Amino acid sequence: MMNRVHPFKTVFLSASIIFSLLLGTTTYLPAFAADKPTAPDTSITLKATAEAPPSISPQALYEEVWGIIAGKFVDESKNGQDWRIWRHRYDKAMKTPDDAYVCIETMLASLDDRYTRFLTPSEFKDERDSIKAVLFGIGIQIGIKENKLVVIAPIEDTPAARAGLKSNDEILSIDGHSALGMSVKDGASYIKGEKGTSVKLLIKREGKEIPFVVVRDEIKLKSVSTKPPFEKTVIPSTLGYIKLSSFISNSAGKEFVDALNSMPDKAGYIVDLRSNPGGLLENATSIADLFLKEGGIVSTVDRYGYKIVTEATSPVITDKPLVVLIDDGSASASEILSGALKDHARATLVGHKSFGKGLVQEINGTSGGTGLHVTTQKYLTPNDIDINKKGIDPDVVVKVTETDLKAGKDLQLEKAVELLTKKP
C-alpha cells in the first residue's frame, strides 16, 4: 500500500475533485424532507463538469456513465463481471431520456453497491441546492412512522415553525392529495414550490384534524444549534453544547466555529453528532483540526491501494475536555470526526455504536443535467481502522428507550454532562 501524507487544506483527493461529500441516512429533498434512517449513502466526492448540452442522445448518456464506472469504480472486478458486456447492451432499446435512466440504473444495480447511483436532473438539482444550504419550501423534515407520513420536525425560524406545525403531526393531505400510502419523496414534491406560493396541509394532532395554509419561502439550512433537544435537559453554564445536524452545507464548518467562539472559557464542550448522516469531508476534517494538535485525521485508499493521509495542520481552538455524542444515525463525516477524536484520545464518545460507513463516493455531473455517485475509495480512521459495516463503539454506552424519548429524557446528554462535571 502506497502512503502519502496530505494536509486537509489542499484541494481534496485529486485535481478533478471539488468536494468530498459523505452522505448518510437523511434523504435531502427540496421540501427539506428526511426519511426514516435506514441505509445511508457512503462518502461522496463532487466533480465539476462542463455545462450540459441542451439535448443528448440516450445512447451517449449511457455510454458516458458506463465510462465513468469503468475508470473509477473502487472494485476493479466490477462485482466479478466483465464490464464490457454492458457497454452496448441497450443501444437499440433506448429511445428517450427515461429509457436511458432505466437502463443506467439496471447497469449500476449489477455492481451490488447501493451507494453508486444515478441522479435524474431534478434529483441532482436538489442535491446541489442542499450543498448550497438554500432551498425553497416551508421548512419541515418529513418521514414515515407506523406507515404514516409525519412531521419529523419543523426547522427553526421557517414558515412551518411560524405556522405552528409540530413534531409527530400526521399529514393527512397536501393540497388535496391524500397522504395515505404517500412516500417521503412524493410528499416533498407536493410541499416544495416557488417562493410566495402557498401549500395547504391537513394535519392530525391528538385525534383532531387541523388545516394549515403555509406560504413557501427561501429556507436557509442551519447545520448547528446550541439548544439541547429537550427542554428538560439542563446544561450547566460552565459547559458548552453544540449540536451538528449535518456536514452537507458549505457553511457547516463556519457555523461550528462561530458557535464555539460564542462560548469561550467553558470548562468543557459537548459535540452532539447523533442522527447526523454526514456531509462534506472538508467540514469533518476542518472541525477535527480544531481539536487536534497533530497527526492524521483520516486516510483514503483507492482501488490501487494508494493511501492519502489527511493531517491536522492548524492551531487548536481549545484544549478543554470534550465529549462527543453518537448513535446509529451518526454516519460518514460524523464517523470521520468522532473516529479521529477517539483514536487520538481527544474526546470521550458517549451513546451507542455508529452506523458504519467507510466508503468514499465521487459525485459526477453528467450530461443532460444528470448526476452520478460512484464509490471510488474507502476511508480509515487515524489508527487505520476500517469502520465500514462495523461502526465506531462509544467509550461509554448509554441506551435510550422510546419511553425515555416520550418523557423528554436525554440520558446520553445527561451522561455527557456528568462526565464533564464530575470531580477527578
Estimate the share of the chain in helix, then strand, then coil, as percent rounded to the nearest 5.
Answer: 25, 30, 45
Q: Residue 47: which residues within 8 A CB-CB, separation 6 or more?
A: 16, 17, 18, 362, 363, 364, 365
**How far apart are the C-alpha atoms of 65 and 86, rounded to whole Å?**
11
- Apex CA 239: angle with CA 343 and CA 283, to 5°? 45
Helices 281-289 and 333-343: angle between axes, nearest 10 degrees: 20
One of 189, 275, 299, 332 is an active-site residue; which one? 332
Cell numbers for 398, please give them: 448509554
Strands 322-326 and 306-311: unpaired
Cell numbers for 54, please give them: 441542451
With H, G, I as helix, E, B as strand and everything else as coil, classify residue 152: strand
Question: Is 357 an annotated catalytic residue?
Answer: yes
One of 343, 378, 410, 415 is an active-site residue; which one? 343
CA distances to 118, 361, 413 from 62, rounded to whole Å, are 11, 19, 49
CA distances to 91, 304, 346, 388 from 384, rounded to whole Å, are 44, 17, 17, 12
- Apex CA 12: angle with CA 282 and CA 367, to 5°? 100
**How far apart are the C-alpha atoms of 172 and 109, rounded to whole Å?**
34
One of 266, 357, 378, 415 is an active-site residue; which one? 357
Size (the chain), residues: 424
- Apex CA 250: angle with CA 284 and CA 150, to 5°? 90
Residue 176 has phi, psi (to 5 degrees) of: 85, -10
Residues classed as catalytic? 332, 343, 357
